[in-house]
Amino acid sequence: MEKERVFIKKEGIQPAQLGDELAMLNVDSGEYFVINEVGKDVWEQIDGEKNVQQVIEELTKTYDADSEEIEKDVSVFIKELEEAKVISEVQR
């Protein structure tokens, strides 16, 4: 089930504040990418322990939006972060 997946930040990723956004550098490859404020909040919640459902719950507490919308955002950003290779799924 998608929402039970757990992600962890990869090593060697240097985040940096870029205005309201967050820039991330893969120190080894030199690749980098930039995510917006919402993406930044998702990134900050990723800790190798919380699953996607729990991340959504955390963000629902801080955001004044309905959980369906947050759910959509979270899955979009997790996909993006995964594709950018800055997070990886914890295999259990």
Partner 1 sequence: MMSKEYYRLFDLCVESNIHLNIAQIQPCQPDVIIEVGEWKPACVDDDSVEFEIDGLNNIIVDIHDMAKFTIKNGNYMNIVPHNEDYWKNEIVTYIVGVAFATLLLQRNVFSIHGSAICANNHAFIIVGEAGAGKSSIAREFIQSGYKLLSDDLSAISIKNQLDVIPSFPTQKMWKNTMDAYESSPDPSKKIFHDVDKFYVDAQDHFEEASKQLGGIIWLEESEVEQVALTKLEKNQALEVLLIHAFIEDMVEKLGLKAQQFILLSHVLSHVDVYHLERPINQFTVKEQVRIIKEKLFEQIKNKV
Per CB under 8 A, 63 contacts partner 1: no
Alpha helices in the chain, H assignment, sequence order: 37-45, 52-62, 67-83
Per CB under 8 A, 21 contacts partner 1: yes
Per CB under 8 A, 34 contacts partner 1: yes
Amino acid at 44: E
Minimum CB separation of residue 31 from partner 1 in Å reads 11
Which one of residues 4, 8, 14, 90 is an interface residue with partner 1 (CB under 8 A)?
14
Which one of residues 6, 9, 10, 23 is an interface residue with partner 1 (CB under 8 A)?
23
CA distances from 29 to 18, 62, 79, 86 (A): 20, 34, 20, 12
